[in-house]
Every structure is written in structure tokens, then in C-alpha cells.
Amino acid sequence: MKTKLLFFLCSLLLVSCQDDEEFQVLRPLGGQVISGYQPCTSLDLGILSLEALEVKDGGDWTVVSSDEAVVKAEKVIPEGASYSYLSVYPLKQGKAVVTVSSETGDKIYIPVTVGTSVRTLDVWSGELNHIEGVSKEDSLLIVEHLYDDVFLRKGGYYRLTYSEKKKGKLTVCTPDGKMEEGTFVCDHEYYDLTFDGKNNHYMVMYSETGFQEVTRTEYRIPFYLVEDVTDRYRADYPTIKLVQRAQKVRLAVND
């Protein structure tokens, strides 16, 4: 009986060791601190996503995407590093299959579906104004007009649904629940938001005293959307040099 039990335990150990050495593609679990891995059998990504996967026991493995217009897949070896990883980068909505081949010819097929991404900008403060070239009295009048004209104040949000890398559908919600639908085009340095019958061009400025908490799925980054509205006041205030208003926002949801 003892002999049979010993043989059974040895068999389990052998199987466990063999599983540990199996050719696999692994997806990290957790946030900023990786808590583990799970086998990657498929990916459902947003258009803004980027996945870094580990390839285990594949030797000098290679990778190819069935449709490089939808998904770019490449083997990345960081400079000076002795390891590599698999980068999966969506380019547009659609479907593709990423095939990872081991040095010995084994293959792993990973179906990838690319859909929309959603970002939500929570408004922390509704009005931060900067005015140059007019008297204090005129400045107060302009500030009052700016306050009456602004659509979104503290407690509201912009929700951006990306159908492409830099544009998509916009939903704007005020603190009292009033909603507007529109569109947006954006880059790292600007947001063009069209809603409520207007086009708003915002420059992006980051706070020097802000903070950043980073995980694999969510970023909470405070920054300012700054709008230059000087031209609106040139006719009434010939000496005016600059009128800017800014909303402090936080990227609260990043899918």
C-alpha cells in the first residue's frame, strides 16, 4: 500500500513539473503589482488597449497577426534585457488571430476582438479664469459672462467613447443631470469637443502639484482643459490681451 501511495505521489509530482514547463502564453493579473498569471486563450480589447503578455517555455518564439490592420503583435526585447514579451496593440475595431510559435514548432492561437474604449473625465472645478489687458472692473464683467456661458461645472463629466484612436462619440452630463450628445477629436495636447451646438477647443495642461495613481486598467490623472476665448471679447475690449478659462478634470475611467 505504501509503495502504491509513493508511486502515486511521484506521478503527481512528475505531471506538475511537466505542466510547469508547458509552452504557454500568460496574461498578468492584478494592478500595478502583478499578483499572478493566467493562460491567455483570447483577448477582448478596447481600441486604446495595449497588452503585454509573457511567453513561457517557447524558446526563440515568433509571433504573427492574421490582420495587421486590426492588431499589431510583436516580440519585444527591451534594450539590455535578457527577456522578451509579447506586445498586442489594437489599431482599429475588428477581429484577428495572433499566432505564437515556439522554437520547436508548437503553436498557440489567440483570437482577438477589438471594440470601443471609454474614458470619463470628471470635472473637479468648473471655472479657473485668466484675463489680461483690461481693468479690474471689466475683468469682473468678463468673469460673470464666462460663468453664465459655461455648460459644465464641478460634479459633471465628459464621457468619451472611442470608435477610433483619436475620435468618437461624446456624452456630457451636468451635476443636475442635464445631458448632451456630441462628438470629439483629441490628441495628447488637445480636445475638440462638439456639443450643445458649439465646438470647444481645449488645450491640455498638467498640474505641477498633481498626483498620479497607475494601474493596468485605470488612471486617475488630474489636468486642465484650457479654452482660449479671447476673440469673443476683442470688439468690446480693444486692449484685451488674453482670456482663458479652464476646467480641472480627472481621468476617472479608462477602459
Note the pLDDT tens digit of each residue in 146-164: 877 766 778 889 999 999 9
Note the pLDDT tens digit of each residue in 11-25: 444 444 444 569 999
Specify the higher pLDDT residue, 147 or 62. Answer: 62
Domain boundary among 54, 85, 115: 115
Query: pLDDT-based confidence at 98, cuts 50/70/90?
Result: very high
Instruction: State the pairing for strand pair 43-46/107-115.
Output: parallel
Instruction: State the pairing for strand pair 43-46/71-76.
Output: unpaired
Residue 8 lies in a domain: no
Count of structural domains within the chain = 2
CB within 8 A of 246, min separation 6: which ones? Answer: 127, 128, 129, 130, 205, 224, 225, 226, 227
| CATH number of the structural domain spanning residue 37 | 2.60.40.3450
pLDDT at 216 over 50: no
**Range(s) of the domain holding residue 184:** 117-254
Average pLDDT over the chain reads: 84
Q: What is the DSSP string of 1-70?
A: -HHHHHHHHHHHHHHHHHHHTS-EEEEEEESSSEEEEEE---EEEETT--EEEEEES-SS-EEEES-TTT
Taking residues 225-229, report their average pLDDT: 91
Residue 1 lies in a domain: no
Same-domain status, 34 and 105: yes
